[in-house]
Structure 1
């Protein structure tokens, strides 16, 4: 994969003997702090680059239904990707968050329909919800992450929403995580902490390239 990272730009505050949950929290803090340094201009440029890479992945290019996400400011941007998928006729499903970890989906119909329904939550479509099992319609699922390692271990925001969602995929559906290049970790030297409930991803996409995992 091109766009190699270096230890100088890749935070890894994991120490020997740390519990997995503590190591995850330390990594989340470090990666969030690093992401916060990106300007709005750089985030917008990155969103276009993410769209170029993700749209080139065969599973995405050929999918009739893609489940993905509407990004918040601290996540890899997806606005251009949503438009590209919709413009070629793919059905695009976005999460609708209920109370707690309630899981639902609605269809993306355009940027004008996206609304932030509650502070801190991602923008959601205003159309009818499709139910938890709508995830089974997806040929491929594109998920946000804070980091991914070469085994396919994904570090999320810590709410557990996607770990629960991904247990409901139909057989054969692929999961692609989206991160910045320096957030792809070599598990041989910098493995991400993993717990029994964590769901591995099948591929990772950055602003410069993508690859199958593990």
Structure 2
């Protein structure tokens, strides 16, 4: 697959002629089911490995402010990375989900301050919110994803929150999708469904490596 090493099978339930929205939902369903097979121990190990990889990315290493996220249980874990960034003085911003698709951000001050404020929502910091445009402070955005392909097409959770948030990003800031290794798809063989509003990412980080995308 054009240089991509995939350790486990890649779900790709996309049938030619399928509506884009339906294809996205089928992919989300299949990948979420696969993610659910990881044990708590495997998830903890993956989170530490992911922190090592992301800290090695030059843009992250040099960043003064990183916009990230607190992962849901089945997503690649982020807490080790968030704590490492905070400990070395990097400002870390996390999303705060307002009513509907309202976008806001708050500072990460430690895992003790994170709370799941509604069923199914990712943990959020409890400090003062900073406003939609706070993402313009970020040198790098670490974006959650269900999958990403080699064109930089990102498959998100389905709510469109990040695609809207990224429209406020300042020029030059990099967006890095975060997934498990088998969730990086070769666009030559298995392109991810793409809609007009989807914003492509610059790079992808997994628990085993990172790479630039597109180009």
**TM-score w.r.t. length of structure 1:** 0.97
Q: Cα RMSD over matched residues?
A: 1.3
* CA shift digits 1:20-73 (9 cap, x unpaired): 111101100100000000111101110001100001100001000000000110
**Deviation at residue 120 of structure 1 after TM alignment:** 1.1
Task: Give the equivalent residue in structure 1 for 2:202.
Answer: 202
Residues 3 and 181 of structure 1 are in contact (CA less than 8 Å); yes or no, is this contact kept in structure 2?
no
Determine the structure 1 residue equivalent to 2:31: 31
C-alpha distance in 2, partners of 1:3/1:48? 22
Within 5 Å, which residues of 2 pair with 1:36-47? 36-47=36-47
2:64 corresponds to? 64
1:81 aligns with 2:81: yes
Is this contact kept in 2: 1:2–1:208, CA < 8 A?
Answer: no
Matches within 5 A, 1:85-164: 85-164=85-164
Does 1:174 pair with 2:174?
yes
Q: How big is the shift at 1:2?
A: 8.1
Displacement of 1:3: 7.2
- Return the offset for 1:115: 1.1
Offset at residue 130 of structure 1 (A): 0.2
SS at match of 1:93: strand
Unpaired runs of 5+ in structure 2?
none
CA distance in 2, matches of 1:2, 1:181: 13
Partner SS state of residue 197, structure 1: coil
CA deviation digits over 1:88-143, x for unaligned, max 9?
Answer: 10000000011110000000011111111111111111110000000000000001
Give the alignment's TM-score, normalised by structure 2. Answer: 0.97
Q: 1:146, 1:157 within 8 Å by CA — same for their partners in 2?
A: yes
